[in-house]
Amino acid sequence: MKTLTSVTIVMEVPTTVASFYRINASLPLQNNPNAFVFIMNLPSNIIFCICLFSSKEKMF
């Protein structure tokens, strides 16, 4: 059960970031040509930090 919870928390991050960019409103980095790279790196870095923290806390 701990593993399922950990995986769910990790997978929630990209879902949340993608949800913000699906709405029809003015968003940060909207006109920036490097926005895609930044938006893809942000959840990846957050997921890495969550996995690192989870492995140190023996959640996986």
Under 8 Å CB-to-CB from 1, ≥6 apart: which residues? none
CB neighbour burial string for 7-45, b if at least 16 within 10 angstroms, e if fewer: eeebeebbeeeeeeeeeeeeeeeeeeeeeeeebeeebee
Quote the CA–CA distance of 34 and 8 in Å, as a whole number: 29
The pLDDT tens digits along the chain (60 residues) read 677 887 888 888 888 877 877 777 777 777 888 888 888 888 888 889 888 888 887 766
Quote the CA–CA distance of 41 and 12 in Å, as a whole number: 15
Q: Domain residue spans in the chain?
A: 1-7+33-60
